[in-house]
Amino acid sequence: MDNATYKALARFVALMTVAVLIGFLQGNIELYLLLAIGGFLLWHLWNLSRFEAWIKAGAREDVPDLPGVWGELVSFIIRLKRRSRSRKRRYRNLIKEYRKSSGAFPDGTVLLDGQNQILWFNKAATRMLGLRKASDRGQSIVNFVRRPEFVRFIESPTEEEPLVMPAPREPGHFYSLQRVPYGRKQSLLLVRDITQEVMVEQTRRDFVANASHELRTPLTVLSGYLDAMVEDPELAESWGDPVREMHAQTARMTEIVAGLLTLSRLEAQEEQENLAEAESVDVPAMLTAIRKEALAVPGCPATVELNLLSDAWLLGSESDLRSAFSNLVENAVKYTPRQGSIILTWESRADGSVEFRVKDTGIGLSPSEIPRVTERFYRVDSGRSRDVGGTGLGLAIVKHVLRGHDANLIITSLPGDGSCFSCVFPASRVAKPDESGAVR
């Protein structure tokens, strides 16, 4: 017990002692004890009423001069209020500094609640999204950006990839938007101007497409003349090997140009195809034909097995899907030794999706190479790549085709232990033929 409690107890004991002595002298101890206890209680009730009035006034009025324990309690509450005011002052200063620093960000920042209503935003967001400080708080963010892709992005609970879209208030500009979970059922919407990056990327695409188109015509002319020269019986023997080498390199360059044009076309497709308008693709028949083509390639592995475990068709572009599947099989043929094996599998999954899998016993990939194999012109083994041919664009084409069909590419591999490339298509891209062969 503290000093105030000891003092209060000592006062009570002293009061009872005096009451007992007076009662003994007067011959009525019980009466004087009752009067002393009653007076003691009344005194405390009086102090309690004063303390209660002070508390109800917010403990901001003149501090009451209360004796004993009540005075100590008043002092304790005053100390608590001072510490609370000091903490609030520090928190207010921190919030002010945070708002000043976030207001200086060139990127827009919007704090949203669980219903996507605006709680707070910085100065950049007022310029980029047209928000106003007073009237726009508490409103849904979709009231200010009414683009369908933005609404889907905001309302999707699992959307993690940034959304790139035209700026709603600045024609010719592009924004990248990313949503980050924050607090309890809250999120931060980050808006960044990526106009320069988009323009650089568009310039690159235009250059590749235009250069590829311009190269195609002279390569066709060269290839035609070289075809004729290779077959010319009067060609000097000393020119035979150089002409055949030029013919082979021209053919390889033509293949590279064709690949670049395919990539340019795939990248130029800004929106995915509508499922209602997509082709119905007979994947089992396509894979059967691709296997036959692989077996006809010189140096093909002895075993190329096709397991058709599903009769599912796909909704999409037949030419693009054939290009992607063929590239995967061609890669397996190129990098698998003659005594190796390749297993092609088409099967349905438990969640309604379907998977095309190419598993080989080739040279394999190291963990550091797997993230890069879908880059343009990336070579796992440069010396081997020159020997087996190829453009270095096949897996890049596969990646873009799968992206356009809502599919994912999963790669598992170990050096010397072969590779497995899996293309997983969602249930929304699956169709099954009925007995008449029509797709439903």
pLDDT (tens digit per residue) in 284-314: 999 999 999 888 888 788 888 999 998 999 9
- In this prediction, residue 35 carries a pLDDT of 83
CA pair distance 425, 407, nearest whole angstrom: 5
pLDDT (tens digit per residue) in 315-327: 888 888 998 899 8
Cα distances from 103 to residues 95, 109, 110, 120, in angstroms, run: 12, 9, 11, 11
Q: 175 φ, ψ to 5°?
A: -115, 145
Going by C-beta distance under 8 Å and a sequence separation of 6 or more, which residues neighbour residue 204? none
Sign of CA dihedral 296, 377, 356, 326: negative
Does domain 105-193 bear CATH number 3.30.450.20? yes
Query: pLDDT tier at 437 (50, 70, 90 boundaries)?
Result: very low
Task: Provide the CATH topology of domain 275-431.
Answer: Heat Shock Protein 90 (3.30.565)
Residue 435: is its pLDDT beyond 50? no
* DSSP label at residue 428: G
Residue with tokens 């002052």: 89
Phi-psi region of 145 (alpha: psi -120 to 50; beta: other; left: phi over 0): beta
Going by C-beta distance under 8 Å and a sequence separation of 6 or more, which residues neighbour residue 348? 309, 310, 312, 354, 355, 430
CATH of domain 197-268: 1.10.287
Cα distances from 47 to residues 44, 59, 179, in angstroms, run: 5, 15, 57
Strands of 5-124, DSSP E = 108-112, 118-121
- In this prediction, residue 298 carries a pLDDT of 83
pLDDT (tens digit per residue) in 274-286: 444 578 889 999 9
For the chain, domain boundaries: 3-99, 105-193, 197-268, 275-431
Judge if pTM exceeds 0.75.
Answer: no
Residue with tokens 């002092």: 75
Residue 304: both structure tokens together: 């190329």
